[in-house]
Structure 1
Amino acid sequence: MSYFSRSAHTLILLSLLTTVASAQRRNPLLQGAPDPTAVAAVDEAGQTAYYVAATGRGVQLLKSTDLKKWRRVGRVFDDAVPEWAQREIPGSSGIWAPDLSYHDGLYYLYYSVSTMGSQTSVIGLAVNKAIDPESPDYKWEDRGLVIESSPETTNFNAIDPALLVDQDGRWLLYWGSHWTGLKVVEVDPATGKPKPDAEIIPVAARPDTRSHAIEAPFALFHDGYYYLFVSWDACCDGARSTYNIRVGRSRNATGQFKDAEGKSMLEGGGTLVIESSDRWRGPGHNGMLTTDDGQWMVLHTYDVENLRAQRILQIRPLTWTEAGWPQVGEPVATP
């Protein structure tokens, strides 16, 4: 091979690598602020601030002081995907569906790594003493693998984690997407990982549909009940997205969860909380934010007036009916 040929080959290879990297950066699944989760904290300036973690390269972090205006303040990982997860999930270009919460002096960030439509997935965990990137204590410690799945070893998909500490002090991790639905397992507070021999308990599924399209569990305790929020249908198709949020409740954090009509969520039950409107399409993958001033649902949605923004962050007030079911109001801010 001549020098020119070698140089041309090198240039072509570099061009291809640049194209692939650029395509990964433009991956619409990683743009906007998909799959948001939120906490409230006092920042380094001594004022209450709100932080959102969202799907993206390395997990996006956003900050607000009023729940209306948000700015990006960094990301959890320097790399798009931690090295251990990249080895487990070749071809992954970002981190999906983080879950952010605060317990016993640490911020816990569960996260998932997968590729679209695949059951080969992993859930990891990172912890930090601080959530404000300006804090001298701000340093994420990656604890690595928590749960994994594959077609050969499991009947579930290990993405969309969400942690709940129940009224009895049990640490419970919910997760799942499609296949046989959503699961929960008790985790050890010392490690944040499943207890040895802990039972994996099914909590919600859609056996009555061909797609089995259910994912994004989020559990919340309110007035004697545990409420399990889930997302149904198609998440990521712009104005054609059919994502919607459903809910059921139980006296026990591990179920059985039933909707307002008494149908089990294991049998496809789920009371509608929010669905698409003329402007907002595919609202879903919610978290909750509870403060002294009230509760808010944190979710993503497409704005048909600006579809190029991809799945945007939306905050809506959450209230409860006399019968004890959640309802959401209009967004606190509109682009």
Structure 2
Amino acid sequence: MKRIGLAAIVAAALLALLPSTATADVTYPDPQPVTGQQIIHDPTVIRLKSGDYVAYSTGGIIGARTSKDRKHWDDAGNAFATPPSWWYEYNDTGDPWAPDISYRDGRYWLYYAVSSWGSNHSAIGVATSRTGLPGTWADHGKVFTSERTDSWNAIDPAITRADGKLWMSFGSYWTGIRMVELNPRTGKAVTDAPVHHLATRPDAPYAVEGPYIVKHGRHYYLFASYDACCSGVNSTYKIRVGRSTSVTGPYVDSAGKPLLEGGGDVLLEGHGRYIGTGGQSVFRDRGRDWLAYHYYDAEDNGTPKLGLNRLSWTGNGWPVVF
């Protein structure tokens, strides 16, 4: 799930000493080679106007990595020097999760979540920057929240523009993936906006989270992480996808099964040393789509690392990775 801190990442790595239950599947591609600082969880990646790349992630105060070529990554500290004070309303350590970076209206926008493990007393916040680099972010507070009485969980944000409007998909367990409209000026939820339901599982605990929506052709594609993360080589995370002609759904898989009924085509799952693939996002680079995600390295004590694969599209409009 997109909700672990640095201590949990270390704990997950220690679980690598346990036997792996994953099986190899040669039909899934390995991540493309990267060097430097590879350790990451829930990556969101963007190519900056400068031509460099930045990746933000769960861990630290929104951990940062930078790259000149998308292949070698350097540790760049954190998005923030100190946690904004309001984060402590949601956990004792001011620990943020699952950021999402985008660019519009001359600024970079960084969305993120604050919560505690196993709770939907959660909030999504937003910050902006002119450069997108760590240390330059100004926080603007809460975007959208959830309480224990709600049937959704306000974490794992991802931003999408559609039909002249700004949307945020989000969700983790608690009946799955949701969406709300945002005010494009403030970047925050429209007052009394309806909460749309995009995907869930038929069985408790509704193990689907971490949505990301992109448009290709006439369809919107919902990518989400299914099953369990955060257990090193015992993680069962996998990335599934469905599509819709409307950003608010209904989303279906290639067999026509609705994602609200447990549908979803598997795009990528664990194989070989690359266990628990998930926490995904999609970014554009020189006109091409890329999938960013984390996996747990079975040959390095289950350490979570950065996965990058080219994302392409079949003739009938479904995504494939290579």
For the aligned pair, the TM-score class normalised by the smaller chain equals: 0.7 to 0.9
Aligned to 2:304: 311
> What TM-score results when the alignment is normalised by the length of structure 1?
0.84
Helix, strand or coil for the counterpart of 1:84? helix
Aligned to 1:184: 179
**Equivalent-residue separation in structure 1 for 2:7 and 2:244 (angstroms):** 41
Aligned to 2:227: 233
Please identify, of 290-299 and 228-237, the stretch whose mean Cα deviation from structure 2 is larger. Answer: 290-299
Q: 1:142 Cα shift?
A: 0.7
1:268-310 Cα deviation digits (max 9, x unpaired): 11111001102100000111111225221000000101125x2
Pairwise CA RMSD of aligned residues?
1.7
Q: 1:160 Cα shift?
A: 0.1
Q: 1:223 Cα shift?
A: 1.0
**Equivalent-residue separation in structure 2 for 1:118 and 1:92 (angstroms):** 15
Aligned to 2:49: 42
* 1:88-167 → structure 2 map (5 Å cutoff): 88-133=89-134, 139-152=136-149, 154-166=150-162
**Equivalent-residue separation in structure 1 for 2:227 and 2:100 (angstroms):** 21
> What TM-score results when the alignment is normalised by the length of structure 2?
0.87
Q: 2:294 aligns with which of 292, 296, 300?
A: 300
Aligned to 2:65: 62
**Equivalent-residue separation in structure 2 for 1:164 and 1:29 (angstroms):** 32
Q: 1:27 Cα shift?
A: 3.5
1:189-241 Cα deviation digits (max 9, x unpaired): 110011122111111111x2222100000000001110000010001111111
* 1:190-205 → structure 2 map (5 Å cutoff): 190-205=185-200
Alpha carbons 1:67, 1:315 under 8 Å: kept: no
**Equivalent-residue separation in structure 1 for 2:294 and 2:169 (angstroms):** 19
Structure 1 runs (4+) deviating above 3 angstroms are 24-27, 29-32
Percent of residue pairs identical: 39
Q: 1:90 Cα shift?
A: 3.2
Q: Given the alignment of the two structures, is residue 323 of structure 1 paired with residue 316 of structure 2, yes or no? A: yes
Give the 3 Å change call, closer, same or farther, for CA 198–93 of structure 1 in structure 2.
Answer: closer
Unmatched tracts of structure 2, length 5 or more = 14-38
Unmatched tracts of structure 1, length 5 or more = 1-23, 330-335
Higher helix share: 1
Aligned to 2:238: 244
**Equivalent-residue separation in structure 2 for 1:65 and 1:174 (angstroms):** 30
Q: 1:50 Cα shift?
A: 1.2
1:72-109 Cα deviation digits (max 9, x unpaired): 22211112x321111x1132452100000001101110
Alpha carbons 1:281, 1:301 under 8 Å: kept: yes
Please identify, of 214-223 and 54-63, the stretch whose mean Cα deviation from structure 2 is larger. Answer: 54-63
Relative contact order (C-alpha < 8 Å, sep 6+): which is higher? Answer: 2
